[in-house]
Chain A
Amino acid sequence: MKTRSFSQSLLFAVTLCCSTTVALAGSAASLKAGKAELKSAGPLAFGPDGILFVGDTVGAAIFALDTNDRTPGRGTNRSFEIKGINQKIAALLGTEADQILIHDVVVNPLSRNVYLSLSRGRGPEAVPVIMKAEASGKLTELSLENIRYSKVDLPDAPDPSAKDRRGQSRRLESITDLKYVNGNVIVAGLSNEEFSSTLRSIPFPFQAANKGASIEIFHGSHGRFETNAPVRTFVPFDINNKPYILAAYTCTPLVTIPVSELKPGNKVKGTTIAELGNRNRPLDMVVYRKGGKDYILMANSSRGVMKLPAANLDKYQPITTQTEKEGVPYETIASLKGVQQLDKLDEANALLLMDDGGSLDLRSVPLP
């Protein structure tokens, strides 16, 4: 009896393992080897299985790149520090430090290696580059020449090279943030002409027929409903086991939006949960768990890094009336200044890109 139950449980375990492998292979299998022709490299997000999503504003597309970086990283208490990473990258790429613009920094949750999207050059001839940084300090380029990838064009985006009878369109939609949530890539965009801030939910693996469609976000504040203010940054978050996104604007810094409502053509109402004042410029956010409780860590331009408890986000009253400083109470982490980018390195540490008087340092700090 013991023997049989042992082998039954072993069979069960093996079956589970195989089905998981099949599921992972499903995502990566949609990628084909070739040259990934990015015209720009902006916001980054990791999907399953070491797949890196890249927002290409100039090419009006989202790329899925196979980083082939799946070896699990070791331990949760390694520290990470690369000082002057902008100067080092500039030297690697043969240019001055101020000709390197770092657009985003994300951590591969599998390997704990850090990926950066950047421009070499600051004008229309700028070349997009994606670099990998390891805890050892090693910096390598993620070559796009022969890489497994797939790509989806952003819907409703005018063909960048199309000349209509009126001449070339100057309209561009800047991708301000993107994240992989439950099988979809959610993309926040902001047009340089008509005032529109969009969220798009695009299924991955990318399908030719379904490019997602834009969703208009309205949010409530001050007792009236306002039209869409640009989503600056957002992060997926579960409330009561339901997936939401937590999105930061400028005037009403935090809203929650149920992922189930992010369907094409929907007009979605976000719920304001934090009123932190419009002097605040949210740059980046992560959600983490410490001591059995959930927290949000947010980097802001003027307020530094803020820590907010996320435990009862659904219970906070939506802000609808004028108040002083209501909603979610927050704590400012005074020791962290000049933070430009923020991501989770592992369960205990955050990875920050910090400006230390012109030298950009990539370093880990314990999650506060």
Chain B
Amino acid sequence: MEGGSFIVEGWRPGPDAPASGWQSIFSVYAGDNDVPPMLGTYTVENSRLVFRPRFEPSPSIRLRAVFRPPSGSPVEAVFEPKHAKAAPSTRVEHVYPSTDLLPANQLKFYIHFSAPMSRGEAWQRIKLLDGQGVPVELPFLEIEQELWDRDYRRLTVLFDPGRIKRGLYSLEEAGPALEENRRYTLVIDSGWRDARGVPLTGEYRKAFSVGPALRSAVEPARWKIHAPPPESTDALRVQFDRPMDAALSTRLLTVQRNGVPVLGTPSLAEMETEWRFVPSQPWTEGEYTIVVDTFLEDLAGNRVGRPFDVDVFEQVTKRVEKSSVSLPFRIRR
């Protein structure tokens, strides 16, 4: 084996492939059982037959190269797996929401990891335990695709909206996943493998209590804006009236001046009840606007101007849906 290719030494191949293809003479197998040979391409280079696998083989597999010359017995070469798995180093960095008091109609968790993870085992690795340590049955929407971000460092876990109590539910159904005045623990299993195939450094737990369901629309008019002084790069601070969704409040609030976006860095504080914005350039005196995209959600999925549950269908079609709401503020001495 040379540079990822497999080469037959000491045998001169003819100019053309045999009728049944080069693979009938020379194959490389990844795996021990009766498996098909690896896909790849064959070439004749410097009078040697060369096989290049379609993909670079995994370093943890034993490879078996078998050469069956037209006359003579087969020659086999075995390539042992290269290296042992690395030591665990990836861990859960944070689970949002940060608060330990969640509404009974909590909609999602965001789980943040310190390094890229692998997908395909999320639902075996996440459990919700009740106050007695008993797992709650199917509290989450177990999507086969798993809702990762592009880097596989953040997983979105949705509570099953069908389990969120809205009133009556049939006897066929399990009750709501979260009940008011009870305590629960979200447990993340350390066996969850990262992108290298290595488990986490340890288990992660988030204990929380459950309060009443939150069923009112988000109202930016109720927020408190703390404007920083001019000629500073102090943070603009907006206090919400309730904790907001971590991902959406980072992305869906922007600052404008005369319709032009102001560049800067947003962040969240006080367990997602406060949004802060540090400008790239110092503030100057004058009128500014905070633009709030109406897709912004609180912990229960209520949006700006629209609660999560819509009681009467007709109301939805009649309501004029604006895409954003503006909050003016002034920077002054």
Please, which residues of chain B bring their CB within 8 A of the CB of A224? 166-167, 309, 311
B57 to chain A, nearest CB (A): 4
**What 0/1 pattern do residues 154 to 175 of B give for CB contact below 8 A with A?**
1010101111001111111110
Contact A94 B168 (CB under 8 A): no
A300 to chain B, nearest CB (A): 12
B127 adjacent to chain A (CB < 8 Å): no
Contact A141-B308, Cβ < 8 Å, known A103-B145, A278-B174: no
Query: Which residue of chain A is the closest to B151 with respect to CB atoms?
Result: A124
Query: What band does the interface of chain A fall in when counting residues whose beta carbon is under 8 Å from B?
Result: 35 or more
Query: Which residue of chain A is the closest to B167 with respect to CB atoms?
Result: A222
Contact A95 B58 (CB under 8 A): yes
Please, which residues of chain A bring their CB within 8 A of the CB of B61? 94-96
Contact A278 B162 (CB under 8 A): yes
- The interface on chain B, measured as residues whose beta carbon lies within 8 A of the other chain's beta carbons, has a size of 80
Query: How far apart are the CA atoms of A226 and B167 in the complex, in Å?
Result: 12
Interface 9-mer from A2-10, A108-116, A146-154, A169-177: A169-177
A62 to chain B, nearest CB (A): 15
**What 0/1 pattern do residues 139 to 173 of A give for CB contact below 8 A with B?**
10100000000000000000010000110111110
Interface 9-mer from A201-209, A254-262, A318-326: A318-326
B236 to chain A, nearest CB (A): 14
Query: How far apart are the CA atoms of A124 and B150 in the complex, in Å?
Result: 7
Query: How far apart are the CA atoms of A194 and B311 in the complex, in Å?
Result: 20
B269 adjacent to chain A (CB < 8 Å): no
Query: Which residue of chain A is the closest to B107 with respect to CB atoms?
Result: A195
Contact A190 B58 (CB under 8 A): no
Query: Which residue of chain A is the closest to B117 with respect to CB atoms?
Result: A123
Contact A91 B35 (CB under 8 A): yes
Which residues B220-278 have CB closer than 8 A to chain A?
Answer: 245, 247-248, 250-251, 261, 263-266
B313 adjacent to chain A (CB < 8 Å): yes
Please, which residues of chain B bring their CB within 8 A of the CB of A225? 310-313
B11 adjacent to chain A (CB < 8 Å): no
Contact B163 A251 (CB under 8 A): yes
Contact A322 B170 (CB under 8 A): yes
Query: How far apart are the CA atoms of A125 and B116 in the complex, in Å?
Result: 10
Contact A193 B194 (CB under 8 A): no
Please, which residues of chain B bring their CB within 8 A of the CB of A252? 162
Interface 9-mer from B70-78, B136-144, B205-213, B284-292: B136-144
Query: Which residue of chain A is the closest to B28 with respect to CB atoms?
Result: A94
Query: Which residue of chain B is the closest to A325 with respect to CB atoms?
Result: B172
**What 0/1 pattern do residues 266 to 293 of A give for CB contact below 8 A with B?**
0101000001111101010000000000
**What 0/1 pattern do residues 104 to 131 of B give for CB contact below 8 A with A?**
0001100000001111100000000000
Please, which residues of chain B bring their CB within 8 A of the CB of A168? 150
A53 adjacent to chain B (CB < 8 Å): no
A35 adjacent to chain B (CB < 8 Å): no
A192 adjacent to chain B (CB < 8 Å): yes
A332 adjacent to chain B (CB < 8 Å): no
Query: How far apart are the CA atoms of A93 and B63 in the complex, in Å?
Result: 12
Query: How far apart are the CA atoms of A90 and B174 in the complex, in Å?
Result: 39
Contact A267 B317 (CB under 8 A): yes
Query: How far apart are the CA atoms of A117 and B170 in the complex, in Å?
Result: 37
A295 adjacent to chain B (CB < 8 Å): no
Query: How far apart are the CA atoms of A276 and B170 in the complex, in Å?
Result: 9
Contact B143 A176 (CB under 8 A): yes
* 19 CB-based A-B contacts, threshold 8 Å: A87-B35, A91-B31, A93-B30, A93-B54, A94-B54, A94-B61, A98-B120, A141-B54, A160-B150, A168-B150, A176-B145, A192-B149, A193-B251, A249-B162, A250-B161, A251-B173, A278-B160, A278-B172, A279-B174
Residues of B within 8 A of A (CB): 29-31, 33, 35-39, 53-58, 60-61, 63, 107-108, 116-120, 137-138, 141-145, 147-152, 154, 156, 158, 160-163, 166-174, 193-196, 245, 247-248, 250-251, 261, 263-266, 295, 297, 301, 303, 308-313, 316-317
Residues of A within 8 A of B (CB): 42, 57-58, 87-88, 90-99, 101, 103, 120, 122-125, 127, 139, 141, 160, 165-166, 168-172, 174-176, 190-196, 218, 220, 222-227, 229-230, 232, 249-252, 267, 269, 275-279, 281, 283, 301-302, 322-325
Known: A42-B145, A91-B38. 17 other contacts (CB 8 A): A91-B31, A93-B55, A94-B55, A94-B58, A98-B120, A160-B150, A168-B150, A171-B251, A174-B143, A192-B148, A192-B149, A195-B308, A218-B316, A226-B309, A278-B173, A281-B142, A302-B138
